[in-house]
Amino acid sequence: MKELLQKIIDENKKYTKKGNVATYIPELKKANRDDLGICIIDMDNNIYQVGSYEKKFTIQSVSKPITLALALMDNGKEKVFSKVGMEPSGDPFNSIMKLETTKPSIPYNPMINAGAIMITSMIKGKNNDEKLERMLKFFRKLSGNENLDINYDVYMCEKQTGDRNRAMAYLLKSEGILEENVEEVLDLYFKQCSIEVTVKDLARIGLNLASHGVDIRNGERLIESDISRIVKTFMVTCGMYDASGQFAINVGIPSKSGVGGGIMATVPNEMGIGVFGPSLDKKGNSIAGVKVLENLSEKLNLSIF
């Protein structure tokens, strides 16, 4: 397996030159465009890591399926889906357009920014500190990494530059969809996106979804099976934004990308995969990371379809 992964990383490294690191969050400009790494953890807990696997990066939108699971555990399906839809938007991840043209103006799904902000607003806790603590605890449990924490430089940078997210959140508040204090919700959302991870952390989270919410190492149930199913379904239909259809055909693995360059992928009953390549395509997905998953899926016959 390791040889195969090395070959796939080597062969796809050239694609990093065809994209660019995210610049709309200035801190993310510091990433090295050439980095490309992967980690796979299988159901027997074998761990394979190749390339830039030691690099830390911020989780960004890969956090969205995880907070979705927590919000569903906190509130139940009925409440959550009264405030966020279940349909792909077909628009870029930071689009505001449909919030104005759809009535009631609930975000299309929890994977676009507007939907993810709504999801973050539904995390339970008596104040923001407690909400953050609960969120971090859940991310640490799912990643199996007790040391997971926030990159405060990225967080501060997002807070200073996140006016588009601010606009969406205030629009949602004005429509009565978002009930909490906007600045507090955004503060938590920016912290959530700034959690620092490695590909191994993403692979472990992917594996916990692949095993329907049970930690294969000790049998502990971390997520209800039904919630794990919902999360994976969103990853298929909306996880790669407005490239989700193409990705489903070319790769066929439930996956979620982030502008930090991470992709978390989950092959039910088989493995969790973490990929890192901060050079992004025009839609905000890791350009070489998508190619790596394409090759891997083809070689190991991983498409779920």
Judged by CB under 6 A, the chain residues 17 through 76 that form the site for ligand DON are 60-61
Cβ at position 197, least distance to ligand DON in Å: 13
Q: CA–CA separation, 2 vs 117, rounded Å?
A: 38
- Interface residue with ligand DON among 35, 158, 215, 242 (CB under 6 A) is 158
- Site track 111-130 with ligand DON (rule: CB under 6 A), x = hit: --x-----------------
Cβ at position 10, least distance to ligand DON in Å: 25
Cβ at position 173, least distance to ligand DON in Å: 17
Q: CA–CA separation, 298 vs 290, rounded Å?
A: 12
The tokens of 141 are what?
């449990």
Tell me which H or E stretch contains 56. Answer: none
24 among annotated binding-site residues: no
295 among annotated binding-site residues: no
- Interface residue with ligand DON among 120, 257, 279, 297 (CB under 6 A) is 257
Based on the shown chain and the rule CB under 6 A, indicate whether residue 165 belongs to the binding site for ligand DON.
yes
Cβ at position 2, least distance to ligand DON in Å: 29
The tokens of 213 are what?
């919410």
Q: CA–CA separation, 294 vs 5, rounded Å?
A: 12
For ligand DON, the closer of residues 240 and 302 by Cβ is 240
All residues at 6 or more sequence positions from 292 whose CB lies less than 8 Å from its CB, including other chains: 8, 9, 12, 36, 38, 275, 277
For ligand DON, the closer of residues 5 and 150 by Cβ is 150
Query: Dihedral sign, CA of 189, 255, 206, 52?
Result: negative
Stretch of 9-17, 121-129, 254-262, 292-300 contacting ligand DON, by CB under 6 A: 254-262
Query: Which of 234, 132, 140 is CA-nearest to residue 192?
Result: 132
